[in-house]
Every structure is written in C-alpha cells, then in structure tokens.
Structure 1
Amino acid sequence: MLGLPRPTLDVPVSLPRQTVVEQAAAPTLSALAFFFVMTSYYIIRPVMGQLSGAVGSQSLPLFYGAVFVVMLLLTPVFGMLVARFRRRQLLGWSYSFFILCLLAFVPAFMAQDRIGARELGVVFFVWASVFNLFVVSLFWSFMADIFSSDQARRVFSLIALGGMAGAIFGPLVTKLLVQLIGVAPLLVVSALALSFSMMLLLQLSTQHDRQAGSRADEAIGGSLWAGIRELWSRPFLRYMALLMLFGDGIGTLAYALVADYAKAHFTSTVARTLFYNDLDLATNLLGAVLQLSVTPWLLVRRGAGWGLVVPSLVNLILLAGVALIGGGSLVFFSYSVPLLAVMQVITRGFAYGMTKPAVDALYTRVPRETRYKGKNFVETAVWRFGDVVVTSAVSGLRMLGWGIGGLALLGAGVATLAAIVARRAGWSPDLAPDEHARVDDGETPPV
C-alpha cells in the first residue's frame, strides 16, 4: 500500500537533546508553516480569479504584461536583499511587507464600486501574482536550505502535503465567509494566516542557527544580477527555465480558456468567485491525493526526475483527448462539469501535487546561491514572460478563428517538448549526487 514516508530525520545521537528534538520537529513545523502560507493565498486567489473571468482572455495579456514588468523590476531587488541580509531578516521583512499590503487592500475593496472593477483588478492581479511567486518561492528556498538532499526526499512530501491542506482549507473558508462578511474582510483573515506562517518560519530559523556549524543564515553575497548569470552558467537551470515555459504554456492555455468560459456563463461577482473557488478546491483535492499516494513513492523509489516526466506525459494524454473531443461537458454524479474545467483541474493538480515537490527536491542538489537567486529568477521573470507570450498567442489565435480543438492540439505538442526537457532536467550533469547532503556555500557540484 502506498503512503507517505516517515517524516523523521536522521540526527546524530551525540547532539544535545534540545538539538535532536528541534531537528525531529522541523518537518512538522515546516508543514504547519506552509499550511498557513497556502491558506492565506487561497483565500485571496478566487478574488483574483473572478477578476480574470470578468474581463475574459482578451485582457489577460495586459494583466500578465504588467506582472512581467513588475517581475523584471523586483528580481534585482530580491537579489540585492538576499546578498545583503541574513535569512531571518529576509523572511521577516518580506512576509511583513505582504501582510501590510493585504491590510492596505481592505479599504480599496470597500470602495470597489467607486474605483472600478477593471482598475482594481489590474492592481490586485499583479499584486497577488507577486505574492504567490515571492512568498512561496522564498519558503521553498528556505526549506532547501535547512534540509539535506536525502532528508528532502523523505520530508518534502509531508511539507507539501501541509501546503495542500492549507490549499483545501483556504477555499473552504472562502466559500463559507464570502457570503457572510463579503470580500474585503477576507483579506484580514488572509493576513492573519500569513502572520502565523511568519512566526513559525522565524522559529525554525532560530532553531537551525543553534545547530553546530550552521552557516545558512549568513548573507549569500553576490551581485544584483546573479540570478541571470546563474541561469546562463548552469545546465540544470536552463532546463528548468525551458520546463517552466512549457509547463506554464499548458497551464496558461487552460486558464485563458476557462476565463472565456466564466465570462460567458457567470454574470455576477459572487458567482464567478464561487466558480473559481470550486476549481481551486477540486484541484487541491487532486493534489492532496497525489501527495498521499503516488508522489512520495515516486520520489523515494524512482527519483525526483520522474516527478517532472510523469505530469508532462499526463498533460500530453489529456490535451490530445481534448483535441479529439473538443469542448462540451462531462457528467459526474449527475453534475455537468465543463471539460475545460476538468482540464485545468488535472493539469494544475499534477503541477502542485507532483511537479512542485520534485522540483524543490532537485533544488537541494545545487548551491545556495542557485537556490535563492537562480531559482527565484526562473520562478518569477521566466514564468511571467511565459504568461505574456502564451496569453498573447492565445488571443491572436482566437482572433484568427482557432477553436478549442486546435489550441489543445498545439498544447499537446508543447507537452511533448516538456516531457523531453523534463527527462534532461531530472538527470542534469551539474546536479550533486542524490545520495549526498546538500551542496554547501561556495561548493560547486561536479560537472
């Protein structure tokens, strides 16, 4: 029977009892911190989604273009912060900034009728995208910093499962509260959840600093554009950038098609919010099932590389099926479900439930500067560049008369390329051997 590996760490018995207890508790505290991160995000995500549904896919290039510009501006800022400040300071200041932003949006949403949905939508869409990329990326970089490669294979599934629990709890809270207190007060609830996560992460940072020989809280150093240099100098990062573009192409294609569906079928803000909230709930339930069954077995027995290949193959089969069948609906337990919604749920479910844990496990086998700067650049600027390209392409092809079948067939071709790149990324020659501990500061993995 498949299941999660035991979330314990191998700690030397010669260490002080306090250190042994802290190391043994680290996976649980990390999972709880990620639970609150994802709860916070999935309380605000349906609000962002319904704004996309209000304008449709034709306006998405504008939204994603604004996000991309912001990413280009913030990526060097992030690199500067990582280079100059210790981890505890970086975590505290970054999370505090987003907490304050959430509270600042409360009066804006109370005045939504006067501001206008489109204007507020652009600002909030950009901010929520930045929140997702920076808060979650910083969390996983921290996790890769305190766990070795061998430990990561056993505990990252547990940590990701904590995030999945938050990603399920968040939509449930939103579904319950949005009809009782409205949209604006939800942002206060989200800020509280993020505050709990910050406190747990700061506690983990303090515990890790007490371990003998720990250097992980030192500022990494390096220039502002180190993330870009890392991308060009390391084959693994180049593969991950390509995989990010291909995977994002598939996910953004599904998102754009669903946005058009929501615009055509839901006229009220509440209806669109509930629709996107249900999509999130179904997606995260699928991701949780994967985290409880296939993913831990795959990462431990077959290696993290297969965690990249399998979702690409699933996307290929799914998109080929949509290309043959076209649009329409499927019936589940007497409920009619749009096929496009099913496509988005499955693609995102595998991305969160399998691809993400595999990616983060692989990043434990590269130097810290690559984890913090190169990884962040790939998961910010590269990702959002892909969003702009894909949404612009979808809008252009729609104007040329392309339908769902043709777009899905194109997506199947992209999924084929993603599977090939995933196979190369998972076994890139510049990754440290899987059985070794994480690469320490300044150490270069064998080529």
Structure 2
Amino acid sequence: MNQVAALSHRDREPVASSAPLWWSLLYFFCLLCGYYVLRPVRDAMGASNDAATVFPHAMIAWAQAHGWQLKDFVLQVLFTATFVSMVLLQPVYGALVARFPRRVFLPVVYVVFIACLFGFHWAFDTAVPGRGMVFFVWIALFNLFAVTVFWSYMADVFEDAQARRVYGYIGAGGTAGAVIGPMLTQWLVQPLGVANLLLVSIGFLSVCVLCIVRLRPWAMARERRQGLASGEAAMGGSVWAGLKLVWQRPVLRAMAVTLFFSVGAATLLYNQQAAIAREFYPSAVAATAYFARIDSAVNVLAILTQLLLTRWLLNRHGVAPALLMPGLTLLLGFGVLLASPVPVMVAIVQVLQRGSEFALAKPARETLYTRMDRPSRYKGKAVIDTAVFRGTDLAFAWVHKGVALLGTQAVFAAGLLAALGMTAGAWSIVRAQRRLPGAHRSSELPSSDRSSEPQSARGES
C-alpha cells in the first residue's frame, strides 16, 4: 500500500520529472534504435541481386527446376514468407497474451528476439546460405510484435489524460532512437561488418527488458487505483479473439481498412525504390549505406514534426488532422511522381510517406487505444499491426510485380488509388472514434482537468 501511495504521488509530479515517462522514453529510444541499426541490413537483403545470399541453395535449385529465377522475385517471395510466418505466429502471440500474466509474456517476447539475434550473428559471420531470407522475415516480425507490445504496455502504464500529455515526449524519444540507429549503421558497417551490427542491437534490446521490469510497478498502481482487471493475471479468452474484436468494433475495423491502403501505398513505393537500389547500388555495403541515408532523412523529418507540430495538433485539434494529413501528402506525392518519375523524387516521397506516418498517423491511432479496454489494446491491436499489416504487404508486393509490367507510371497510378483509399479510411476512423467512451469530454476539458475524468469516460473495462 505504501508503494501504491508513493506511485500515486509520483503521478501528480510534473511531466518533466516523472519517472515512468523517462523509463518509457528510454524504452522506446532503445527499441527503435536497436531496430533501425538492423533495418538497413534487412533492406540490403531485399534489394540484393545475389540469390544465394538471400535464399537457401535447395530453394534456388527447386525454383530453377520449375523454370523460375528467384532473383527476379526476391521481394515477392520474401513478403509471402513473412505473411505465412505472421499467420503461424499470430495464435502463438494470442496464447501468450491469453494464458500468461504481463510480467511473463512481455519480457519473454524480447528475450526470444535477443536469442534470435545471437543466432543471426553466427549466420552472418559464417556466411550461411539463405540467411537473407530468414533475417528479412524475422526483422519484419520483430518490428511489428515488439512495437505493438510497447504501445499496449504504455496504455497499461498511463491513464488517458496522462497519455495525452506524455505520448508526444515518448514518441520523440523513439524518433531520436530511429535517427541515431541508421547513423550508427553508417558509421559502424565498414569497421565492424554486417554481422557485428547485430551485437549492437542486442545491447539496446537488453535495456528494453530492464525498462519493462522498472515500469511494472506503475502499471500495477494504475490498475489498483482505478479498480481495473490486473495485468498481473492472465487475460484469458480465445487466442483468435483479436480477429473477432476487429470485425465487431467499428473503430478497430476502420483502423484495419486504413492500414490496408496505407501499407499498400507504402509497399508499392518501397518495391519501386528497391528496384532503383538494385540498379545503382549492387553491393551489400553500398545498398546498406543508401538505405541508412533514407532512414536518417525519414527520422529527422519525423522528430521535427513531432516537436513542432504533432503535440500541438493532437492537443488543439484532436486526431482528425493527424490522421488525414499523411494520406493527403501521399496523394500529392504520387501525383508528382506521375508527372516526374525520376529516382530522386521516389526517395523524397518515400521520406515524406514514412515520416508523416510515424510522426502523425501513428501517435493519433495510439492515443485512441487509451480509450479502449485491454483486449482491444493487446488482442485487437495485435491483429491489425501484424496480420493485417503483413497480409497487405504480401498482396501489394504481387500487385507491384504485375503492375510494373505496364511501366513505372502504372505503379505510381496504383499508388495514387491506394492513397485515396487511405485518406477515406482515415476519415472513417475520425467518425468511428467519436463513439468511443469519453470522446465528447476529452475534446472539451482542459488538460489540467482531464485527470479527474470518471473511469467510464475513459473506456476502461
């Protein structure tokens, strides 16, 4: 009881001196820094012309025997493998969430990722054939599951009113990590080599586990204070409950539709960028450095947007502008590419697309989860962020392969249609979130008064 009282007192401290804020910020910084150290390595694998680096010898031989050249279908095969792996792992994640308490499944997710990285270090160090395919698929799974778990945990630690005050700071901390990660890759890839970059990422993920443990008392205190179901007990329910939630709840369904078109547009753009990298950056080191420069530009744009625009938009105008602006930006970007499809413009639109998604759309969506119950935050959100995301990746990777036969401008025309669908989906989220508990009160109360909202207004179960 004394610990809970002390934590309740800490909740009233100024945001700048709040211990859970700083632990959360460090957590997100290390998570994204560790990921972005690895992302350029993954992108270089996807853009590689050397099929033997990416695929196992047996798979190459099988494809040749059936008249295929795998080097012509690198991204399509990788996205297919990623989706299949995601479908197989989704019930595993659902079982973890349903059957184990938070103190078990959160650290276990990251410990498993760290163990995998040690295995990949050996594979890259010894040049194991087919390492590129496994690593590409694993990085995609790591990014989606690790980040999804992070934001679900944040919704356990912070109340609705607290989240509106601190999510901007936490997001900026993550973006800082996303800026530094590619820089570390650029600086270290030559002296250390690709294999030893994985050890750098292991160090950052180890700090994430420490942050999870240190944040646990604040999550427990919030649940006790508000009389919520404890995350220290298993959540229960079916491992497939997330699919049912997404189908039944309008705001989750709208998020899934929006993500479908958003990821579709991004996949078309990414595949076209990979084709350019294959032509102009044939070596793994050169391609890794090129993708690291793109990542650096994306994250510099994101952190500037977060510091100068995102928090002001969310606090002053709600989620609507932040949700709608990325789609409108893509509509403009694909329109420019239709008129002037030069390589430098592809890179610029890629930076704008990823930067606006990360700095505007993502924080707006995560804010809405603070007004939902824990099954929606952990189960429904996981389905959207993993299965829907990678299913769309797979679909549009093959769409790109077919549309590209008609020429570069056909790809950009398809991207324009996807951006239009993304904008319409964002508007459907704006409409659906008005029916969430606390929507009217949240839009009218000044921030200093919001911490006194009743439990029912925050949508807790």
Q: Which residue of 2 aligns with 1:341?
A: 347
1:412 lines up with 2:421 in the alignment: no
| Mapped partners of 1:340, 1:411: distance in 2 | 12
For 1:357-385, what per-residue CA distance to the aligned partner results, in whole angstroms no more than 9, with x for missing partners? 11111111111101100100011011111
1:278 lines up with 2:293 in the alignment: yes
Letter in 1 for 2:154: M
Letter in 2 for 1:30: S
Any conservation in 2 of the 1:36–1:163 contact (CA below 8 Å)? Answer: yes
Matches within 5 A, 1:399-438: 399=405, 401-403=406-408, 405-428=409-432, 429-434=434-439, 435=442
2:28 to 26, 34, 37: 34
* DSSP-derived class of the 1:78 partner: helix
1:25 to 11, 19, 23: 19
Instruction: Tell me the TM-score normalized by structure 2.
Output: 0.86
Matches within 5 A, 1:69-80: 69-80=84-95
1:357 lines up with 2:363 in the alignment: yes
For 1:379-426, what per-residue CA distance to the aligned partner results, in whole angstroms no more than 9, with x for missing partners? 101111101111101101122x222x2222221222122112101112
Q: Which residue of 2 aligns with 1:93?
A: 108
Evaluate the alpha carbon distance shift between residue 217 and residue 152 of structure 1 in structure 2; reply closer, same or farther with a 3 A threshold. Answer: same
| Mapped partners of 1:243, 1:163: distance in 2 | 23
Q: How far is the alpha carbon of 1:207 from its aligned partner? A: 3.4
Any conservation in 2 of the 1:171–1:277 contact (CA below 8 Å)? Answer: yes
Q: How far is the alpha carbon of 1:306 from its aligned partner? A: 2.4
How many residues align? The count is 416
Q: How far is the alpha carbon of 1:37 from its aligned partner? A: 0.3
Q: How far is the alpha carbon of 1:103 from its aligned partner? A: 1.0
| Mapped partners of 1:304, 1:41: distance in 2 | 27
1:161 lines up with 2:172 in the alignment: yes
419-428 vs 67-76, which moves further: 419-428
Any conservation in 2 of the 1:57–1:395 contact (CA below 8 Å)? Answer: no
* DSSP-derived class of the 1:359 partner: helix
Q: Which residue of 1 aligns with 2:135?
A: 124
Q: Which residue of 2 aligns with 1:368?
A: 374
Any conservation in 2 of the 1:365–1:438 contact (CA below 8 Å)? Answer: no
Q: Which residue of 2 aligns with 1:264?
A: 279
Q: Which residue of 1 aligns with 2:445?
A: none
Q: How far is the alpha carbon of 1:437 from its aligned partner? A: 6.6
| Mapped partners of 1:354, 1:137: distance in 2 | 17
| Mapped partners of 2:427, 2:458: distance in 1 | 27
| Mapped partners of 1:86, 1:71: distance in 2 | 23
Any conservation in 1 of the 2:160–2:370 contact (CA below 8 Å)? Answer: yes
Any conservation in 2 of the 1:365–1:439 contact (CA below 8 Å)? Answer: no
| Mapped partners of 1:257, 1:82: distance in 2 | 37
Deviating 4+ runs (over 6 angstroms): 437-442
| Mapped partners of 2:72, 2:262: distance in 1 | 19
* DSSP-derived class of the 1:208 partner: helix
1:194 lines up with 2:201 in the alignment: no
1:65 lines up with 2:93 in the alignment: no
Q: How far is the alpha carbon of 1:294 from its aligned partner? A: 1.0
Identity rate of aligned residues, in percent? Answer: 37
| Mapped partners of 2:236, 2:431: distance in 1 | 28
Structure 1 residues not aligned, in runs of 5+? 1-14, 329-337
1:209 to 220, 223, 226: 220
Q: Which residue of 1 aligns with 2:58?
A: none
Evaluate the alpha carbon distance shift between residue 323 and residue 170 of structure 1 in structure 2; reply closer, same or farther with a 3 A threshold. Answer: same
Structure 2 residues not aligned, in runs of 5+? 13-17, 50-70, 443-452
Any conservation in 1 of the 2:25–2:173 contact (CA below 8 Å)? Answer: yes
1:102 lines up with 2:106 in the alignment: no
Any conservation in 2 of the 1:308–1:355 contact (CA below 8 Å)? Answer: yes
What is the root-mean-square deviation in Å for CA atoms of aligned residues?
2.0
Matches within 5 A, 1:384-399: 384-399=390-405
282-291 vs 198-207, which moves further: 198-207
Q: How far is the alpha carbon of 1:147 from its aligned partner? A: 1.5
Any conservation in 2 of the 1:305–1:427 contact (CA below 8 Å)? Answer: no
